[in-house]
């Protein structure tokens, strides 16, 4: 089988790439490979209060049509300057246009433009954070609720499916140069191996491909740069604590005015309905399976006996752990030793003081004044995941960040008032992707391969992934049109 273009990964990067090619060069013969399942067949047992079973080797949270835009969850679309490292990479004017196009395409199935928040914050919000030496990073953010994200994913499917070949449960496992073409190996759901040749390959493999794509690129002789690694925790609390600031800025991130040890908030899931902690299963990407955390904003959950939960991630740069790979391995080893590679939790008090807290999850969760969003957790010493320097950064960073949020909320509470009312859940791990050498079209120099989205190691996010997909797709369409013209 020969294809003009093979795209590995049907997340926002791969989908936007396919659309950009079909827009600029209709009739291009595209095969879209997706290691995961069809979009309606991606339930997560953890969302239903059950244990993570790994879903037969394919984590439905991060694999399947839609990629890490999980069907059934909400998401935030954060526009530039969120993901600002893309600006020098793509060029400022081009980056702006790509961001506008990506947002328009991602929201087109909704039939309306969602409201953008996150800019022109109130003086009270700015002042509350400045008092703690923090500045809120302002950029436009749209919150896409569960039903709306389902509409977006279904819309992409209906738009693309008739115009390309889409294979689910089909994983790209190898690529080799073969004359002018690439020779690909694809493992299908029947555990068969199929060989396909193509003119262009797009790697849009996101989280599931975090290590396998790097290996593939290395085999092809593509130089890669080690990533920066951040580690941290997710803090879960009653929805009322984060609501005020979450409604002003749904994707709250801060910069530190005094350049103290760098910590950052990540994937803020506050707002009126809070958010759900998500468990992502990396399968064998790091040896034996490990589970890490993320979060999705929600808009449609209903509270039971206790208020709903909201959460945010807090990360610091790794310290005292060697280079990026050594740091990653040392963190994962400690996680396995402490918790068997499965998420665990302790109270904020136990985390900050590094003292033993509740010994059972049932006791721990019952003591919380909100309904934890995940039940598949164990009680354990989350603080022990971190070196002393990392723990100092995280605790100091948390006090400043949460102190600002509480001041802004005008609830009359301080951090010390909520020590027994907040769950600290671990671990969070960020930026594990090696950065391959790619040009402004996301192309690997000298090879007909583009690397887009999270896999490119430049910026994370749905809009940012789509931007890179569009840039690559347009370049491929130009090249394909030239080849077709020459062969006529
Ligand atoms: C729980 C969670 C919540 C998030 N919330 C937000 C949010 O609210 N806003 C935001 O901007 N970002 C959010 N993110 C990050 C965002 O989802 C990602 O940055 C974005 O999806 C990256 O897009 P991508 O296309 O590069 O990769 P992905 O979306 O990860 O898609 C990659 C796809 O490639 C497939 N794949 C992998 N390897 C292969 C292979 N070898 N062959 C074939 N297919 C393969 C995978 O199965 C997957 O479907 C969240 C991430 C997670 C996990």
- Main-chain dihedrals φ then ψ at residue 79, nearest 5 degrees: -95, 165
Q: Which atom of ligand 1 is nearest to the CA of 34?
A: 44
467-481 confidence digits (pLDDT tens): 999 999 999 999 988
- The Cα 156–Cα 66 span in angstroms is 8
pLDDT at 12: 98
Asked whether 62 lines ligand 1 (CB < 6 A), one says yes
Residue from 467, 460, 472 nearest 83 by CA: 460
Q: Which pair of structure tokens corresponds to residue 142?
A: 């749209």
* Residue 260: pLDDT over 80: no
Q: Is 259 helix (H, G, I), strand (E, B) or coil?
A: coil
Contact 433, 453 (CB under 8 A): no
Ligand 1 centroid vs 271 CA: distance in angstroms? 23
Q: Residue 241: CA atoms inside 13 Å, Cβ hemisphere, count?
A: 29
The distance of Cα 200 from the centroid of its chain, to the nearest Å, equals 26
Q: Which atom of ligand 1 is nearest to the CA of 208?
A: 37
67-85 confidence digits (pLDDT tens): 999 999 999 999 999 999 9
* Residue 434: pLDDT over 90: no
Asked whether 427 lines ligand 1 (CB < 6 A), one says no
Of all protein residues, whose CA lies closest to atom 20 belonging to ligand 1?
462
Q: Which atom of ligand 1 is nearest to the CA of 66?
A: 49
Whose tokens are 């950009």? That residue is 20
* Residue 484: pLDDT over 80: no
Q: In the chain, helix, strand, coil percent, each to 5?
A: 35, 25, 40
Residues 6+ apart with CB under 8 A from 20: 469, 470, 471, 472, 473, 474, 477
pLDDT at 419: 97
Mean pLDDT of 11-34: 97
- Main-chain dihedrals φ then ψ at residue 86, nearest 5 degrees: -75, -20
345-387 confidence digits (pLDDT tens): 999 999 999 998 778 999 999 999 999 999 999 999 999 999 9
Crossing angle of the two packed helices 462-487 and 12-24, in degrees rounded to 10 = 30
Asked whether 405 lines ligand 1 (CB < 6 A), one says no
Q: Which pair of structure tokens corresponds to residue 425?
A: 């859940």
Q: Which atom of ligand 1 is nearest to the CA of 294?
A: 1
Q: Which pair of structure tokens corresponds to residue 259?
A: 């350049």
* Residue 255: pLDDT over 90: no
Residue by residue, DSSP assigns 379-402 as E--GGGGS-HHHHHHHHHHHHHHH
Residue by residue, DSSP assigns 115-143 as P-BSSS--HHHHHHHHTTTEEEPP--EEE
- The Cα 407–Cα 251 span in angstroms is 18
Structural Rg of the chain based on CA atoms: 22
Q: Which atom of ligand 1 is nearest to the CA of 13?
A: 25
Asked whether 462 lines ligand 1 (CB < 6 A), one says yes
pLDDT at 431: 67
Contact 119, 140 (CB under 8 A): yes
pLDDT at 99: 98
pLDDT at 399: 95
* Residue 283: pLDDT over 90: no
Residues 244, 247, 250, 252, Cα dihedral to 10°: -30
pLDDT at 246: 96
Ligand 1 centroid vs 406 CA: distance in angstroms? 32
Contact 424, 237 (CB under 8 A): no
Q: Is 330 helix (H, G, I), strand (E, B) or coil?
A: helix
Asked whether 172 lines ligand 1 (CB < 6 A), one says yes
Asked whether 10 lines ligand 1 (CB < 6 A), one says yes
* Residue 316: pLDDT over 70: yes
Asked whether 83 lines ligand 1 (CB < 6 A), one says no
Ligand 1 centroid vs 70 CA: distance in angstroms? 9
Asked whether 265 lines ligand 1 (CB < 6 A), one says no
13 pLDDT band, cuts 50/70/90, is: very high
Average pLDDT, the chain: 95
Asked whether 313 lines ligand 1 (CB < 6 A), one says no
- Domains present along the chain, CATH in parentheses: 2-74+80-115+147-225+436-487 (3.50.50.60), 230-430 (no CATH)
Asked whether 457 lines ligand 1 (CB < 6 A), one says no
- Main-chain dihedrals φ then ψ at residue 164, nearest 5 degrees: -150, 170
* Residue 189: pLDDT over 90: no
143-188 confidence digits (pLDDT tens): 999 999 999 999 999 999 999 999 999 999 999 999 889 999 999 9
Contact 473, 18 (CB under 8 A): yes
Asked whether 217 lines ligand 1 (CB < 6 A), one says no
- The Cα 237–Cα 4 span in angstroms is 50
Contact 446, 311 (CB under 8 A): no
Ligand 1 centroid vs 330 CA: distance in angstroms? 25
Asked whether 291 lines ligand 1 (CB < 6 A), one says no
Asked whether 461 lines ligand 1 (CB < 6 A), one says yes
Mean pLDDT of 87-107: 98
Distances (CA, A) of 325 to 220, 339, 457, 459, 487: 20, 21, 15, 19, 46
Asked whether 280 lines ligand 1 (CB < 6 A), one says yes
Contact 452, 203 (CB under 8 A): yes
* Residue 329: pLDDT over 70: yes
* Residue 317: pLDDT over 80: yes
Residue from 448, 432, 449, 452 nearest 15 by CA: 452
- Residue 431 gets which letter from DSSP? -
289 pLDDT band, cuts 50/70/90, is: confident
């Amino acid at each position: 089988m020969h294809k003009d273009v093979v795209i590995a990964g049907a997340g926002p990067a791969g989908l936007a790439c396919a659309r950009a090619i079909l827009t600029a060069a209709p009739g291009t013969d595209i095969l879209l490979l997706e290691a995961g399942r069809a979009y309606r067949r991606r339930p997560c047992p953890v969302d239903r209060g059950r244990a993570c079973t790994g879903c037969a080797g394919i984590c439905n949270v991060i694999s399947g049509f839609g990629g890490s835009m999980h069907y059934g969850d909400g998401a935030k679309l954060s526009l530039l300057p969120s993901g600002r490292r893309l600006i020098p990479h793509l060029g400022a004017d081009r980056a702006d246009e790509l961001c506008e196009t990506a947002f328009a395409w991602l929201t087109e199935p909704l039939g309306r433009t969602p409201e953008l928040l996150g800019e022109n914050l109130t003086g009270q919000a700015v002042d509350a954070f400045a008092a703690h030496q923090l500045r809120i990073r302002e950029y436009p953010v749209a919150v896409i609720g569960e039903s709306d994200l389902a509409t977006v994913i279904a819309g992409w499917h209906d738009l693309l499916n008739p115009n390309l070949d889409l294979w689910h449960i089909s994983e790209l496992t190898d690529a080799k140069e073969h004359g002018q073409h690439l020779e690909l190996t694809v493992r299908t759901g029947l555990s068969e191996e199929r060989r396909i040749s193509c003119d262009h390959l797009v790697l849009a493999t996101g989280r599931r491909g975090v290590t396998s794509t790097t290996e593939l690129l290395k085999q092809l002789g593509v130089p890669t740069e080690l990533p920066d690694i951040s580690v941290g925790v997710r803090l879960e609390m009653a929805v009322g604590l984060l609501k005020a600031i979450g409604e002003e800025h749904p994707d709250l991130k801060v910069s530190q005015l005094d350049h103290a040890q760098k910590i950052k908030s990540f994937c803020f899931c506050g707002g009126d309905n809070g958010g759900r902690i998500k468990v992502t299963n990396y399968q064998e990407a790091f040896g034996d399976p490990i589970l890490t955390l993320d979060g999705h904003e929600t808009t449609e959950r209903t509270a039971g006996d206790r208020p709903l939960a909201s959460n945010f991630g807090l990360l610091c740069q790794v310290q005292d752990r060697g280079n990026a790979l050594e740091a990653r391995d040392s963190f994962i080893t400690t996680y396995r030793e402490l918790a068997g590679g499965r998420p665990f939790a302790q109270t904020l008090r136990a985390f900050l003081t590094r003292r033993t807290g509740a010994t059972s999850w049932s006791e721990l969760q019952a003591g919380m004044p909100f309904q934890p969003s995940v039940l598949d957790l164990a009680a354990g010493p989350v603080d022990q995941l971190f070196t002393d320097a990392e723990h100092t950064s995280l605790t100091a960073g948390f006090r400043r960040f949460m102190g600002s949020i509480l001041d802004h909320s005008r609830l009359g509470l301080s951090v010390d008032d909520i020590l027994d009312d907040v769950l600290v859940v671990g671990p969070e791990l960020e930026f594990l992707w090696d950065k391959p050498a790619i040009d402004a079209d996301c192309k690997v120099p000298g090879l007909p391969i583009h690397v887009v989205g999270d896999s490119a190691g430049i910026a994370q996010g749905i809009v940012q992934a789509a931007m890179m997909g569009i840039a690559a797709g347009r370049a491929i369409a130009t090249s394909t049109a030239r080849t077709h013209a020459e062969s006529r």
